[in-house]
Amino acid sequence: MRKLILVLLINVSLLAVAQSNLTTSIIEGGRTLVDLVRVFRVPKTMLYPSARNSTATVDSFYSKGLAGISYKNTFGKSMQVSLFKRIGAIYSITPLNLYIGNNGQEYLYEVPIAIYKFKIEYENEDEKKVVYREGEIKINACNKIVSDIKK
């Protein structure tokens, strides 16, 4: 009888140790799963700080809200490009002007993002300005817009 009670006590103590190991394993597995979910939810810029610092100079146009515009003239005459910034329903009075010679190219760097009305004009033989093209253009941050003026 003593042997049976002794074996029973040893068996119960082993089961208690096994149960505590099982609960510890479940808790550790849950912690590991939560850590994996956190890793996948963290933005990539937080994981690689060196990449975040190197793109700071590239994204300065984005943070400042700027873009670049280029016009190339192959029309055969000198052209004038005027950009009027739209503010609400009206346009600004003072335009951004570009004078482009024949077979020339001009750039506007650091143009604020907005919607602009553009007007491309040239002078005919009577020295009157003739509108070649007119319309609106939306400029987004970090855009590099290249437009050709052709016949």
**Alpha-carbon torsion, ordered 22, 23, 24, 27, to 10 deg:** 130
The two tokens of residue 18 are 């096994």
Q: What is the pLDDT of residues 51-97, one digit of tens each?
A: 445 444 556 777 788 899 999 999 989 999 999 999 988 999 899 99
Closest CA to 67 of 107, 114, 113: 113
| Selected residue with higher pLDDT from 7 and 43 | 7
Nearby residues of 151 by Cβ (< 8 Å), 6 or more positions away: 74, 75, 76
pLDDT of residue 144: 87
Please provide the average confidence, as pLDDT, over all residues in the chain. 81
**Burial letters for 120-138: b for 16+ Cβ neighbours within 10 Å, e otherwise?**
bbbeeeeeeeeebeeeeee
